[in-house]
Amino acid sequence: MREFIKDFIKILKIEKGLADNSLSSYKRDLVKYHSFMLRRQRLDDIALVKERNLRAYVRFLNAENMSANSIKRAISCIRTYHNFLLSEGRIDNNPVLSIDTPKVAKKLPSILTVEEIDKILHFIPKKAPMSMRDVAIFEMMYSCGLRVTELCNFKLANILWDSEMIRVDGKGGKQRFVPIGPMARKNLKDYIEKERPSFSEKDPKTAELFLSRNGKKLTRMMIWILLKKWANIAEINKEISPHTLRHSFATHLLEGGADLRSVQEMLGHADISTTQIYTHLDKEHLKEVHRTFHPRFD
């Protein structure tokens, strides 16, 4: 049955322009799904899958203690896959349409305060190896609200110095322009002029802005490791990731009075409802201010 997965992944890559990480997730979900149907349900033809088989698969995922969010993602993937098979004439109907997905409670993302971000940047020693690079990375992520993949793939040529903007290659090949603040620009210039040349000479063909000591572009995992390292040294006791800087960027803009549409454009969200989660964070901030300063909370 698995011969259809390859064709499906190819369609997703060409028509939807999904990133490699998303494609890998789809593939993992489908390989697991096919294995279950073959080994547990004894079905060697995808056209034989019925609603009862799918319900058995959902029970199987629940038994594995998968989160509601992960199960929802898996079912969504299988539904899209069966729609593809239907359009290709491989099956006669889509049995996934009648399967309910679990309700997922909205979880507000973790953010850092302005003081916590300042503290992390302050604890990166100026004379430490690659300190200019690390400061420039986190200043840029926070100043521009970048996804970690966008940062890793960011090219030197995408800095528009004269207009004080950067050009970001976002999800699905979509480009957007985002302002970059003076502190982030200063740290970028320091890194580019004083530190990057010693990295880039080891592999001059690398066009990405942020490099490892070997002249290669940084990976998502490396950015995560760097942030955890400096956050731990700064004694920031929160569960944080590079995406936390993006969440903080959006929340702080809204707290400062920015309009939702502008924040949506800077984040590169296709749907404003995705950006609206940060208005909930803003309300939490207001409630905290109220709790802290209102006399009836004594």
> Tell me: the pLDDT tens digits for 95-137?
998 887 766 555 667 889 999 999 999 999 988 889 999 999 9
H or E stretch covering 60:
helix 51-63
Q: What is the pLDDT of residue 12?
A: 86
**Helix 20-39 / helix 68-87 crossing angle, nearest 10 deg:** 80
Q: Which amino acid is at 89?
A: G
Catalytic-labelled residue, pool 171, 176, 217, 229: 171
Query: Any catalytic annotation for residue 32?
Result: no
> Hey, where are the domains in the chain?
3-98, 114-293
Catalytic-labelled residue, pool 13, 90, 176, 243: 243
Token couple for 276: 């609206």
pTM value? 0.63
Query: Any catalytic annotation for residue 72?
Result: no
Of 35, 240, 257, give the one whose Cα is nearest residue 141: 240
Written as tens digits, the pLDDT of the chain (298 aa) is 567 898 889 888 887 777 788 889 899 999 999 999 999 999 999 999 999 999 899 889 988 888 878 888 899 999 999 999 999 998 998 999 888 776 655 566 788 999 999 999 999 998 888 999 999 999 999 999 999 999 999 999 999 999 999 999 988 788 999 999 999 999 999 999 999 999 999 988 889 999 999 999 999 999 999 999 999 999 998 889 999 999 999 999 988 888 889 999 999 998 888 788 777 666 666 666 666 666 665 5
Give the architecture-level CATH label for domain 114-293.
Orthogonal Bundle (1.10)
Q: Which amino acid is at 15?
A: E
Angstrom distance (rounded) from CA 77 to CA 87:
16
Catalytic-labelled residue, pool 34, 82, 185, 246: 246
Catalytic-labelled residue, pool 33, 142, 191, 278: 278
Q: What is the pLDDT of residue 146?
A: 96
Query: Any catalytic annotation for residue 278?
Result: yes
Catalytic-labelled residue, pool 147, 185, 196, 247: 147
C-beta contacts of 78-81 below 8 A and 24+ residues apart = 78/29, 78/30, 78/33, 78/54, 81/4, 81/5, 81/8, 81/26, 81/30, 81/33
Query: Any catalytic annotation for residue 243?
Result: yes
3-98 CATH, one of 1.10.645.10, 3.40.50.970, 3.40.50.150, 1.10.150.130: 1.10.150.130
